Structure 1
Amino acid sequence: MATPKLLADDDRFRIIEWTIEPGDAIELHTHEHDYAVIGIEASTMWAVLPDGSELEVPIVPGEGYTRRAGATHRMENRGDVRVVFTEVEAKASTAP
């Protein structure tokens, strides 16, 4: 199983550092909030979508990507090095 480390959690953001060891996964889940992923260690993970399709997701240290709420997937580490990234969920906007 993947290991989450909660770094911060308030009414606006949740920040989690994820570690997925080789052969492990983050089980199927749906993101309730918009989110960003920032790479910590170089690796590759696989997003397995509910319809069975798959996406290869490179993790590059210091680089990131964003996704909208509603994304549903299982994240797998099929490689021989661990996957480490930080996920930032935007829970609420402070805009008027």
Structure 2
Amino acid sequence: MHNSSKPPNQNSVDSSAIGTRLLFENERVRVWDLALEPGETLPLHRHELDYLYVVIGGGTLQTGFVDGTADEPRQMGDGEVRFREVTSTGGEQRATHSATNVGDSPWRNIVVELKRL
């Protein structure tokens, strides 16, 4: 884990670590657990598959990008679900990002990547 709110250098982009722990994988889906302590960052990574995530417990997350910019922090509630179609969410700029827990409590979500058949 990277512990800065600034996204790492583009040379460190990893498309194999979408979460902090791989829970399940088959020919159709890949399921990740993403758990971040307050102030902790999931390093810059690239989404190559459409995905959805389910927030567990709620919290505040901030997304950082390759160019050093970041979205405004987003507060999300327990059970909130978001779907991201990688090809339609801003291209490479949005598909490659870091995620920082900027809240006061642990952040957790489950990410489900949808493999192309």
Q: 1:10-89 maps to which residues of 2 (within 5 A)? A: 10-55=26-71, 56-69=73-86, 70=92, 71-89=95-113
Question: What RMSD in Å do the two structures reach over aligned CA positions?
Answer: 1.8
C-alpha distance in 1 between matches for 2:108 and 2:76: 8
Name the count of aligned residue pairs.
93
Residue 46 of structure 1 aligns with an amino acid whose one-letter code is: Q
Task: Give TM-score scaled by structure 2 length.
Answer: 0.71
- Greater fraction strand: 1
CA shift for structure 1 position 42 = 1.1
Spell out, residue by residue over 1:50-88, the C-alpha distance to the aligned partner (whole angstroms, 9 max, x if none): 222212232321111111235111101122211100000
SS of aligned partner of 2:32: strand
SS of aligned partner of 1:53: coil
Listed as ranges, the gaps of 5+ residues in structure 2 are 3-18, 87-91
Spell out, residue by residue over 1:4-56, the C-alpha distance to the aligned partner (whole angstroms, 9 max, x if none): 23221011100111100112111001101001111101101100112222122
Percent sequence identity over aligned pairs: 32
Listed as ranges, the gaps of 5+ residues in structure 1 are none
